[in-house]
Chains A and B, each alone.
Chain A
Amino acid sequence: MGSTGSKERAAVIGVGQTKYSSTRGDVSMAGLVREAAYRALEMAGRSWDDIDAVVIGKAPDFFEGVMMPEIYLAEALGCVGKPILRVHTAGSVGGSTALVATSLVQAGIHGTVLTLGFEKQSESNAMWALSLPSPFTTSINAGAGGYFSPIIRRYMEVTQAPELIGAMVALKDRQHALRNPYAHVQDPDLTFDKVVESPMLWDPIRFSETCPSSDGACALVLTNEAGGDAHDGPVAWVHGTAMRSEANNYGGRNVVSPQASEDCAADVFAQAGITNPRKEIDAVEMYVPFSWYEPMWLESLGFAEKGEGWKMVESGATHMDGGDLPVNCSGGVLSSNPIGASGMIRFAEAALQVMGEAGEHQVDGARRSFGHAYGGGAQYYAMWVVGADKP
Chain B
Amino acid sequence: MGYNQDPSVPPAALSGAVSIPDALADLEPVRSVTTPLRMEYTATPGASLSKYLRAMKEKRIIGDVCPDTGMVFVPPRGVSPVSGKRTTETVDVADEGYIESFNITRIPIKGRDDLHPPYVSAWVVPDGSNTGSIALVAGDDLDLDDVRIGMRVKAVWKPDDELEESAANILHWEPTGEPDAEVPDMMRIGRPTDGGAQ
Contact = CB atoms under 8 A, between A and B. Distances in A.
Nearest to A307: B187
B16 interface: no
Given A136-B49, A252-B69, A359-B3, 17 more contacts: A15-B3, A133-B112, A137-B167, A138-B170, A153-B102, A153-B103, A154-B101, A157-B101, A159-B187, A201-B105, A201-B106, A203-B118, A250-B82, A252-B82, A252-B192, A306-B189, A307-B187
Interface residues of A, number: 74
A25 B81 CA distance: 43
Contacts, number: 197
B63 to A, nearest CB: 10
Contacts of A199: 106
Interface string A120-140: 001101011001010111101
Nearest to B46: A136
Chain B at the A interface: SS class? loop
Contacts of A181: 5-7
Given A136-B53, A137-B75, A306-B189, A249 B1 contact: no
Given A137-B167, A252-B194, A131 B4 contact: no
Contacts of A247: 81-82
A3 interface: no
Given A150-B122, A153-B102, A250-B81, A136 B4 contact: no
Contacts of B69: 251-252
CB-CB nearest 4 A-B residue pairs:
A251-B130, A251-B71, A252-B192, A38-B11
B2 A357 contact: yes
Contact of A233 (B1, B119, B132): B1
A52 B167 CA distance: 50
Contacts of A133: 112
Interface of B: 1-8, 10-14, 31-32, 35, 37, 43, 45, 49, 52-53, 66, 69, 71-73, 75, 80-82, 100-112, 115, 118-119, 121-123, 129-136, 149, 167-168, 170, 184-189, 191-195
Contacts of A65: 35, 37
A357 B4 CA distance: 9
A146 interface: yes
A140 B106 contact: no
B11 A306 contact: no
A131 B112 contact: yes
A128 B107 CA distance: 12
Interface string A37-76: 0110111110000000000000000000100000000000
Contacts of B186: 154, 158, 254-256
Contact of B45 (A123, A136, A249): A136
A202 B130 contact: no
Contacts of A135: 43, 45
B12 A42 contact: yes
Given A158-B186, A251-B69, A142 B192 contact: no
B136 A140 contact: yes
B10 A35 contact: yes
A232 B130 contact: no
Interface string A239-263: 0000000010111111111010000
Contacts of A357: 2-3
Given A140-B121, A233-B1, A250 B73 contact: yes
A306 B103 contact: no
A140 B32 contact: no
Nearest to B70: A251
A203 B5 contact: no
A247 B80 CA distance: 10
Contacts of B66: 251
